[in-house]
Chain A
Amino acid sequence: MASWTSKLSRWAEKRWDLKEVLTPILDTEVTDYKQKVRFCWGGMTFALIVIELATGIFLAYYYQPSVKGAFQSIVFITDQVHLGWLIRGIHHYASYLIIVTVAVHTLIVFFRGAYKPPREMTWVSGVFLLLLCFAFSFTGYLLTWDQRGYWATRIGTGMASEIPLIGEYLMIFLQGGYGVKQPTIIRFYVSHVIVLPILLIGLLIAHFFMIRRQGVKEPF
């Protein structure tokens, strides 16, 4: 008797002719040099990003982006919601790990010279991905609305204000006003859960498309 997986695949095959679509995507040889740890950091970053997206969606069911509600809802998630502490903990620690893996990935790409033509645009998309990672961290940090998050944001927007000419405007733009207050929470929240994820997914598609078309750079 055929296994249930092959039954399922035959069932799907009959309807959508999936082999034709999937074979060119899945049928790639993973050569030896790709199995080195140094080629894994981009993939690790991606795995962590998937984890962040998943846990982030869970958190969004309870989080309240307001001066009154933010910290309370964080405490509620941690102490009351079933497995809330776990979801929040994973979201929290994975966000730190992403900075580590993306930094290592960038350095390895740099020192291997993998940014050179014809892969320049992979590098450029990567730079934007790196900036996005920082933007995620910066906006996410405020959301707990505790002393640490509040002051980190004050320092961050204060740094922006030192940029010549546009600094003051930029600070007010980031904060949504003169101070770090309710409008700041909303701004950071919408950026963190809507705008940045859309940009991230778009850039990841571009990044991966180029890598699949070109293959990773071979060792020297």
Chain B
Amino acid sequence: MDEKKAIDKENPTSSFSRRKLLKFITAFLGLFGLGAVFSSTIAFLTPPRSALKKVGGWQVVGNLSEFKEALSLSKVYFGLPILLMKEELGLRVFSAVCPHLGCIIQWDEKKKTFLCPCHDAIFDKSGKVVKGPLKDALLPFDLKVEGEMISVRLPEEKLHGYPSWFRITMISGV
């Protein structure tokens, strides 16, 4: 027993020795360095805040006189397709981006419903889902009329509850 202990003492790797401590410190610093390089790389590749420009605010998108020819108008709001509607409920505006997977919906004048061509979602004229592979209603835009001019605004507060990609796409414009 005693003999074995004596041997261990002479063998520096078998107990906590200076060599072990140095190895430990080197490993720690090495890992720390690798972590720094890795996290800086990710940080570099992450687009800086200043590159993340949101769209928002009022934009003039049409004129009341345009409704003489049609009861629904396809327009764009900072590149986002939207639909201006004039029906019993009055003047209304919806994002034309389907909240399911992002295809562009159309108004079916005969059936008085919105139709998405991609997976056959149908929305009633208030934007609620009638049928289809999703629960989220169409996103209504804020709207105001000054004289003949129609302005609309993305209602950021209403984006809450929509899927992430939809929220990000809406504030990005297209």
Measured CB to CB, the residues of A under 8 A from B are 151, 154-155, 157-158, 161-162, 167-169, 171-173, 176-179, 181, 183
Are the CB atoms of A158 and B51 closer together than 8 Å? no
Q: Is B174 an interface residue (CB 8 A)?
A: yes
Are the CB atoms of B172 and A176 closer together than 8 Å? no
With contact pairs A178-B52, A183-B51 given, residues A162 and B164 touching in the complex (Cβ less than 8 Å): yes
Where chain B touches its partner, the secondary structure class is: loop
Are the CB atoms of A161 and B164 closer together than 8 Å? yes
Residues of A close to B45: CB separation below 8 A: 173
Are the CB atoms of B163 and A178 closer together than 8 Å? no
Are the CB atoms of B168 and A178 closer together than 8 Å? yes
Task: Apart from A177-B172, A178-B52, A183-B47, list 8 A-B contacts with CB within 8 A.
Answer: A161-B163, A172-B47, A176-B47, A177-B47, A178-B53, A178-B168, A178-B171, A181-B172
Say how far A27's CB is from chain B's closest CB, in angstroms: 40
With contact pairs A154-B102, A177-B172 given, residues A161 and B165 touching in the complex (Cβ less than 8 Å): yes
A-B contact count (CB 8 A): 56
Measured CB to CB, the residues of B under 8 A from A are 45-47, 51-54, 101-102, 163-165, 168-169, 171-174
CA distance A98 to B129 in the complex (A): 41
Residues of B close to A177: CB separation below 8 A: 47, 51-53, 172
Residues of B close to A161: CB separation below 8 A: 163-165, 168
Are the CB atoms of A173 and B47 closer together than 8 Å? yes
Residues of B close to A169: CB separation below 8 A: 46
Residues of A close to B54: CB separation below 8 A: 178
Are the CB atoms of A171 and B101 closer together than 8 Å? no
Are the CB atoms of B164 and A167 closer together than 8 Å? yes
Say how far A156's CB is from chain B's closest CB, in angstroms: 10
With contact pairs A154-B102, A172-B52, A179-B174 given, residues A162 and B163 touching in the complex (Cβ less than 8 Å): yes
Are the CB atoms of A168 and B169 closer together than 8 Å? no
Say how far B3's CB is from chain A's closest CB, in angstroms: 40
With contact pairs A155-B102, A158-B102 given, residues A172 and B168 touching in the complex (Cβ less than 8 Å): yes
Residues of B close to A167: CB separation below 8 A: 164
Residues of B close to A171: CB separation below 8 A: 164-165, 168
**Can you report 29 A-B residue pairs in the complex whose CB atoms are below 8 A from each other?**
A154-B165, A154-B169, A155-B101, A155-B102, A157-B165, A158-B169, A161-B164, A162-B164, A167-B164, A168-B164, A168-B168, A171-B164, A172-B52, A172-B168, A173-B46, A176-B51, A177-B51, A177-B52, A177-B172, A178-B52, A178-B53, A178-B54, A178-B169, A178-B171, A178-B172, A178-B173, A179-B168, A179-B172, A183-B51
Say how far B140's CB is from chain A's closest CB, in angstroms: 21
User: Which residue of chain B lies nearest to A167 when distances are taken between CB atoms in the complex?
Assistant: B164
CA distance A169 to B173 in the complex (A): 18
Residues of B close to A181: CB separation below 8 A: 172
CA distance A167 to B171 in the complex (A): 16
User: Which residue of chain B lies nearest to A160 when distances are taken between CB atoms in the complex?
Assistant: B165
Residues of B close to A172: CB separation below 8 A: 46-47, 52, 168
CA distance A179 to B172 in the complex (A): 5
Say how far A159's CB is from chain B's closest CB, in angstroms: 8
Residues of A close to B165: CB separation below 8 A: 154, 157-158, 161-162, 171
User: Which residue of chain A lies nearest to B165 when distances are taken between CB atoms in the complex?
Assistant: A158
